[in-house]
Each structure stands twice: as C-alpha cells, then as structure tokens.
Structure 1
Amino acid sequence: FGNVSSPPNYWDMELGTKVPGNREMCANLLKLTQYFNCIHFAGGYPVEPVDIHASVRHLDVVYDKLTLTDKAMHAYSLGKERVEDVMEMVRIAGGLSNEEFEATPRIYTNINSTSPLKHDHPMIDGCLRMVRRGQAVVVTPFTLAGAMAPVTMAGAVAQSIAEALCAIALFQYVNPGCACAIGTFTSNVDMKSGAPAFGTPEYMRATQMTGQMARFYGLPLRSSGVCAANVPDGQAMWETSNSLWAAVQSGTNMVYHAAGWLEGGLIASPEKFIMDCEVLQQIQRYLDPGLSATGTDDIALDAIKSVGNEGHFFGIQHTQDRYATAFYQPFLSDWKNYEGWEAAGSVWTPDRAHTMFKNIIANFEAPAIDEAIREELADFVARRKSEGGAPTDF
C-alpha cells in the first residue's frame, strides 16, 4: 500500500476548502506516510507543491522524501533530468556505488499511457533510463470506459492490456528480464457529465479482470485505492473501500493511492489519509492467516464445555489469556454505544482524524540519517538548482 500521489490540491478540516498544494502540505503528508506502518511505499508527491517551480520541484520533494521517510522510493518518469536526478539522490541516500545501485531495483517509476493507444516520449524515455540501470517500472494505462476506451468493460480492459504490454515488451527488449509490473486504472465515466467515476462496480470488475490477465502473463499487478468524493465523507469511504477490496480480490501486489485520495485525484486530504489507514489496517488484519487458525486451542472445545449453556466467556482463562490480542483494535473508529458516545461528547470521524493528524505532525520524529549523507544530498540539490534543474517551457 502506498500514499496518495500527485493531486494538485489540498483539503483539510481546518481550511474547509481546497487550495493548491505547497511544500509544507506535501511534507506533512510524507510524515503521515512514515508514521503509518500500513503504508509501505512513498509514491509520487502526495500533493503537488506548486509553490516550487516545476524545474526544481523534484529536487526539493525527493530531498524531503529521503529525509522524512524510509519507505520504498519513487521517481516521476518525465524525461532525462528528473529521472537521472532522483536515481542519483537515491544512490547517495543509500550510500551506494553505481555498481551497487544498479545490481538490484532500488527505486521504481510508474507511467500512464495516453489513451487511446499512445505513449508519450518523456515517460518512455524516463523508463528506458530506469531499466538500463536495473530499476523497476510500472506501466499503468489510464483508460476510462466511454471516454478514452470502449464503453464495455471487456473492451476497455483489452485496450488497457494492449497499451501496457507494448511498453513492457519494449523495456524487455532493451534489458531482458528487467523488473516490470502491469497496472490497471480502468474505470468508467459518468455518462451524464463525463466526469471520471471511481470505486464503482465497473471499476472493481475491471481491476479483477486485469488481475486475471496479469497472472496469465506472469506479471506483478498494480491497482489503486480511489474515489470520486470531494470530501472525506461516507461516499469517500465506501468508494475507496470498494477500490481496496477489488485490489485484494484481484491479487494486486502494489496499491497506489491507498490513503488520502479525494475528488478523482484532484485533492489530497490528511483526514482522508488517516481514515483510509484505519481501513487498510483492518484489511491487513483480515488477511492474517492466524485469524482462521484451527488448532485445538483455537477450536476451544474445552472452553465451550466449561461455560456450558448458562454462563459467558468474559472471565474464563481461555479468554483472559488471549483478550489483549484476540481482535483488531481500531485507532480511529469509535465503538462506544450511542449513550456512551453522547456522554463523552460526540465527535464525527473526520474531526477525530483531524485531531490525530495535528498530533502526529506535532510529535513527528524523522528516521535517522547519517549527517554526511544529508549534507551530500543537500549539496547535490543546491548544485542541480544552480544548473537550472529540469528544462520547462515557462
């Protein structure tokens, strides 16, 4: 599971409206990425820091990612300079020689096709630079049924598979055996407005169909935890839960945007991030094989006999030995009954998440990093900024 990636806007309970992202907002979402163990990798920028010019944005954000988190690292595949800079920064952060960096994947990138039936040059160029140095690539067509792909799910998935495989075949030709995964981002549009819809039954089925095809081709699968809702409300959570369960049921290996996504990817929200992490941890608990263990102590016939048909299980030794770890304990959900909830002061879930967000940021401790490495990273960023970073047309 990875954090939300690339929304241009940010929303939280304090602001109450969406605003363009900035570096502080991006850094705070990176801190949440580090804090929650259910988040395994740091995807793209959790919100675009548009206060940093696009030519040097990757330098500042990757520096923040490498110093605020120790999660698996991502590079945007947007041409030569950004990919080369990020690979070098990851090499520096790992204290690796070029040979050690290239010996195994240390970083990954993800590209989207320009549906229908097209890849663009900067993304393919960036991927080719990655695979030549032994790094991992994920190819994820962005096919919206009824708009950029056929209105039928079989047609949309077929087009998506074709768009992904042609790029993967190219990368395998350049570096046979290079690390590639296939992605799915096939959903439908609202045929009344043309707006993208996510977490729909069609989205779920397309993800599962792509999972079957990924297994057929022997490729790892990437999918997403997405929704179309504009705020962290009930719609946001049921759509995201639909997306996440489709990922689980499809055999997905890598779930993008698993926490923090709103408004079809236009908004990143810390409250939504924390609410999603509660769902992710419950999914992870559900997938724990120990939950359905069937040993003698698990079937508990002796405990059932000891209680009989007139007692209860709260106080018996079998329960006392296990109660602390028997069940999933939520960090955000409130399980009090209505009267207890009212007596304690009722607080809506997004408000509880906002309070938790503020506490996490106030008490955040970054992972340890060697000061010599930090200085080398800072020097690299300063040098590349002085050289102009990546060229832009503005």
Structure 2
Amino acid sequence: MTQKTQIRAGGRSARRAARAAPLADHLRPIRPGMEGGRYEPLSPTDVDRIHNAALEALETIGLADAPDSGVAYLTKAGAVLGADGRIRFPRALVEDVIASANRTVTLCARDPAHDLDLTGTRVHYGTAGAAVHLVDAEGCNYRECGVQDLHDAARITDVLQNIHFLQRPMVCRDIADNLEMDLNTIYATCSGTTKHIGTSFTDPAHVAPAIEMLHMIAGGEAAWRARPFVLNSNCFVVPPMKFATESCQVMEECIKHGMPVLLLSAGMAGATAPSTVAGAIVQATAECLAGLVYVQAIKPGHPVVFGTWPFGLDLRSGAMTGGSGEQALLTAGCAQMHKFYDLPGGAAAGIADSKLPDMQAGWEQMCSNVMAGLAGLNMVYEAAGMHASLLGFCHESLILGDDLLGQAMRCVRGIEVTDETMALDQMRAVCMDGPGHYLGTQQTLGRMEADHVYPTLGDRSSPKEWEEKGKPNLIAKAKARKEEILSQRSAARFDPELDARIRARFTIHLPA
C-alpha cells in the first residue's frame, strides 16, 4: 500500500513538474500582441463627438509655449501662430496628418523575438513611470531607489513572459548629475533586458551622448537606425494645452537620431484636465494630435506612439487615483480613440494606489489592465509593479504582476466558438457512451495547456494541501523568485569588450 502511494505521488509530482515547465511559444494559450478591441466604452457617436471636439480645441484654443524651432516646423506645415503666442491647427491640417501617419510601427528589441507589432489592436503589457521609492514588500517600508534597483527590475522583466517591454519604471536617485543619470538609465536597462526599452531625457544636450552609447550597443549607427530598440518617452506637453518647451527640443533631437517617440500627454482630471472622463479624453486627444502634427512636420512617417495618458484624481483630497474605475474608463476610452484613428497608441493602466502588493493593489491593477487589454490598447504602460500612485515601485509586485497579466491576457484572447470548442461530439460521447464526466478525456487533456493559463505563484490548492505545504505566502514566494532570478547572470549583459569600451567612455555607476 505504501509503495502504491509513493508511485502515485511520484507520478503526480512528475505531472506537476511538466506543467510548470515553460511551454513552447506555439503552444502557449497567450502571447504578446494578441488582438483586443472587443470592449468599446464609447458609442460610435461618442467617438465622433470626441474627435470633433478635439479638432475644435486645436483650431480655436491651440497650444502655447512651443520652442522657436517648433514654431518654425509647425507654421511651415500649416499651423497658425496667433498674436497671443498660441499655435492653432486648422482642421484640414490635422486630418491630413492623421491620414498620412505611420500605421505600421514595430518597436524593436535587442532580441528580435521580443519585437512589438503595434498594428491594429494588438496588446502588449509593460512597465513605466518615474517612481522615486523602492517598496520593501516584506518589511512594509519605502526607501529611495537607485541604479541597481533599476537594473534589477530590467533583469526580472527579461525573464517574465507576460511583461512584454520595459519602460524605465523608476529614477536613479543615487546619481546626482542629470547627464550621468540619463546615461546610466540606458546602461542599466539595456544590460538587464533584451526586450524593448523606453526612457526619458532631462535635457536636449543629453540625447547625443546617449545615442553614442546606443550606437556602441547596437554595433554602429547603421545597425541602430535599422533597429532602434530604445524609445523616447516624451512629455511634450504641460497640460492644459501648452507645449513643454525643453521636452519638445529633446523630441526634435531624438527624431533626428532615429529614435521612436512616445507622445505623452498626462493631464490630471480635475486639475490639469477637465474633471469628466469625456473631457479628459478630449484634451488628451487634442494634445497628442498636436504632437503628431509636430513630429510629422519634422520627419514624415517617423514612428510614434499616440500616448494619451490622462490620470484620475480623488476630488476630495487632490490625490491621484491610478487604481480607480474612472482611471480604467479613461484608459479604455483612449484606446478606443487610438482604434478610431488606427494609430499605434499607449496609455496607463495597472497602477495601484495601495502602498503594498495587497488585496487593494490586486483589484486596482486587474481592473484597469483587463479593460485596457479588452479595449485593444497597443502599449499598456505601468501595468505591473507600480504602487502609491506611481511614487513606489516593487520588484515582488512586478513578479506577481506577471501572473496577473497572464489572466488579463487570457481575457483579451476571448472565447473561441468552433465546432471543436462547442464540443457536441464530446457531449454525445461522454453522456451516452462514456463515464458521465470529461475528466481525463482526450479532448480535455489535449486542450488543457492550449486553452488555460495557469498562475506561476498564485495558489489554487485546497486548504489541506496549502497547510501541508506550510501555508505559503505570495510575498514570500515572489521574494524567493526574485532572489532566484537575481542570483543568475543577466542574459542581456554586454560582451566584456563592449562593456569595457562603454565604461572607458562614460561614467557607469553599476559595478562591473
């Protein structure tokens, strides 16, 4: 009897181990770039009204504070500089730019296997933000984050299947010099992951040395221009309806060097954007359309991500509400406008207002991530790891977010209705000739991996099994997974000769 029990347990362990092993890409039930777009919070009439309101805002209100170079580009393209210093955009100009914009954008990665196809309503989840604190999930503490923390986030991202890209999620608070911070951000992220990367620059003069480093990593200027694997996340506007002068100059430099651009409009509903969901979407759409005209005036067809990022606000306190239902609606509505224009788009989701990866964080992160995916948002930014309304980033939460996003992606995949999936033949065989249940049937076993997404760290065991396993805690499991990842050398690390050349040319703060 004891022997049989051991054999049975051993067989169960082997099956569990087989299920835990990574599936081949062609067998995975979810993968980057699956098409969403089934959820549409706006009616066709609503979309038309928002579009027309955005065009009216551009034509009658316009944007202030463009740099002299921007004024020259925009007025040459057909925009009008008013006596009040505001640049206004005739409707026909904006419509022509929308019609001629680049719709076939692929964001490259150092490893082409991680390239992101942004056509249509293909969905990709990733990080973003500028958190100033790292969250210690186990000790329930916050501390200032540094370049090592950023590098570790990149290394963790590199091995997580459902985190498809890394936009810099935190700033290097341990590097005082802004140029060195910008350069070390690129070094830390690129040496940590071969997935697509997004970054920002604090000064236009920092772009050229950053591009020099990227040429070195890519293997030369031609290789970089053929496959630019880093995008400039650019807050080109200061809502409401003003250009961010210095950021616009950064954008101009990045475009000249062949770097894709995320046009990021991040108004706060009720503060720097209208308090209504519809009004915030109108303003963000208008601002990003102005940015699109700007980019097209510099270089027609340049790869752009239409980054409408309006944020919610708790009007009782003035605090940001990244984890609210309103935020989920803002992001899904923006995704629908991207779909209307058929332009590659990105917006924010997955932000937790909760300070720790707890139940509140779970509902906040899942709500907006699922709605963004169902709405067909191409680039879901800030989808994992972000806490305290973007003030804190947590490595353990990033790892737990991989499980969460797996379930969100399964929702994006939707329901397949075919003769096989409707299973009438199975029903007939099981009910009339078989055992009266579907457990162990060839069809059930054959599709258990192709149809179902299983959590890596989430626990679906019975209370008895859970107790027998020592009552495992999610945070402890995530911490153990983090330590396992970081105990191994990064697969994205640079060749020693290249690393030596980079370190000889630039001040790198990460230890060799």
Q: Give your verdict on TM over 0.5.
A: yes
Distance (whole Å) between structure 2 residues aligned to residue 208 and residue 287 of structure 1: 13
Aligned-residue Cα RMSD (Å) equals 2.3
The superposition leaves residues 317-336 of structure 1 with CA deviations (integer Å, 9 ceiling, x where unpaired) of: 33344445552221011001
8 A contact 2:162–2:405 mirrored in 1: yes
**Aligned residue number for residue 21 of structure 1:** 145
Residues 245, 286 of structure 1: alpha-carbon distance in 2 compared, 3 angstrom cutoff: closer
1:313 Cα offset (Å):
2.0
Match of 2:234 in 1: 111
Report how far residue 107 of structure 1 moved. Answer: 2.5
Identify the match of residue 101 of structure 1 among 224, 243, 249. Answer: 224
Q: Partners in 2 of 1:323 and 1:212 — Cα distance?
A: 33
The 5 A counterparts of 1:27-106 are 27-44=151-168, 46-55=169-178, 56-96=180-220, 98-103=221-226, 105-106=228-229
Q: For 1:277, give the aligned amino acid.
A: D
Query: 1:52 deviation in Å?
Result: 1.6
Q: TM-score, normalised by structure 1?
A: 0.88
Listed as ranges, the gaps of 5+ residues in structure 1 are: 386-394
Tell me which amino acid in the other structure corresponds to 1:304.
M
Structure 2 residue aligned with 1:120: 244
The alpha-carbon distance between structure 1 residues 272 and 287, as it changes in their structure 2 partners (threshold 3 A), is same
Q: How does 1:160-309 map to 2 (within 5 A)?
A: 160-224=284-348, 225-288=350-413, 292=416, 294-296=418-420, 298-308=421-431
When residues 175 and 104 of structure 1 are mapped into structure 2, their CA distance, relative to the original with a 3 A threshold, is farther
Contact conserved, 2:308 with 2:346, CA < 8 A, in 1? Answer: yes
Where in structure 2 are there 5+ consecutive unaligned residues?
1-124
The CA deviation at 1:8 is 0.3
Q: 1:140 to 1:286 in 2, by over 3 A?
A: same
2:265 is aligned, of 114, 131, 141, to 141
List per-residue Cα deviations over 1:249-303 (Å, max 9, x = no partner): 33211111121100110000012111111111222334347x626254x444443
Q: Secondary structure at the match of 1:178?
A: coil
Contact 2:132 2:170 in 1 (8 A): yes
Q: 1:233 to 1:372 in 2, by over 3 A?
A: same
Distance 2:423 2:274 in 1: 54
Offset of residue 144 of structure 1: 1.3
- Number of paired residues? 380
Residue identity opposite 1:68 in structure 2: G
Q: State TM-score, norm by structure 2.
A: 0.69
- Name the % identity: 26
Give the partner amino acid of 1:351: A
> Which of 54-63 and 123-132 deviates more?
54-63
Does the Cα contact within 8 Å between 2:338 and 2:345 map onto a contact in 1? Answer: yes
Give the CA deviation at 1:146.
1.1
Given residue 190 of structure 1, which amino acid in structure 2 is its aligned partner? D
Residue identity opposite 2:170 in structure 1: V
Map of 1:389 onto structure 2 = none
Contact preservation (8 Å) 1:12, 1:354: no
Structure 1 pair 354–141 and aligned structure 2 pair: CA distance change class (3 A): same
User: Quick one: structure 1 residues 305 and 12, their matched pair in 2 at CA, closer, same or farther if it must change by over 3 Å?
Assistant: same
Matched AA of 2:358: D
Change (3 A) 1:306 1:9: same
Q: For residue 262 of structure 2, what is the amino acid of its counterpart?
A: V
